[in-house]
């Protein structure tokens, strides 16, 4: 599992509330990613980070912000949650090697009522 944990694993919240999801890694990888997965859409990239304080947008970044103040933690924030953000969220790290393969965390199931 490449030492990746996500918290919380499940969360139910109400529309308009702020929500922060945490991804934690123990192996000092530089690259980290946040994806969401919805039926019929597969996995879609939200934001990614290529180092401390270095982040960039993915294909579905609207309504999300991220922060990376230290190597091991990558936070995803929904400033004001909406029902369309109900999804399963996966964090991933990239192993910088010949193949640059990515390894995923166990996921966070978020429900916005």
Partner 1 sequence: DAKTTQPTSMDCAEGRAANLPCNHSTISGNEYVYWYRQIHSQGPQYIIHGLKNNETNEMASLIITEDRKSSTLILPHATLRDTAVYYCIVRGINQGGKLIFGQGTELSVKP
Q: Is 105 in the site for partner 1 (CB under 8 A)?
A: yes
Token code pair at residue 29: 């990888």
Please say which residue, 16 or 73, places its beta carbon nearer to partner 1: 73
Q: Which of 21, 33, 60, 68 binds partner 1 (CB under 8 A)?
A: 33
ω before 8 within 30° of 0 (cis)? yes
21 three-class SS: strand
CA distance 70 to 54: 11
Binding site residues, partner 1, CB under 8 A:
31, 33, 35, 42-45, 48, 50, 56, 58, 90, 92, 94, 99-107
């Amino acid at each position: 599992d490449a030492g990746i944990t996500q918290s919380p694993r499940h969360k139910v919240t109400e529309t308009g509330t702020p929500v922060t999801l945490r991804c934690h890694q123990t192996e000092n990888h530089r690259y980290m990613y946040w994806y969401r997965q919805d039926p019929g859409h597969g996995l879609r990239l939200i934001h990614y980070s290529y180092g401390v304080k270095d982040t960039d947008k993915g294909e579905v970044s609207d309504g999300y912000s991220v922060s990376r103040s230290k190597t091991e933690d990558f936070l995803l924030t929904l400033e004001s949650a909406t029902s369309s953000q109900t999804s399963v969220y996966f964090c991933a790290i990239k192993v910088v090697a010949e193949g640059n393969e990515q390894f995923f965390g166990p996921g966070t199931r978020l429900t916005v009522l």
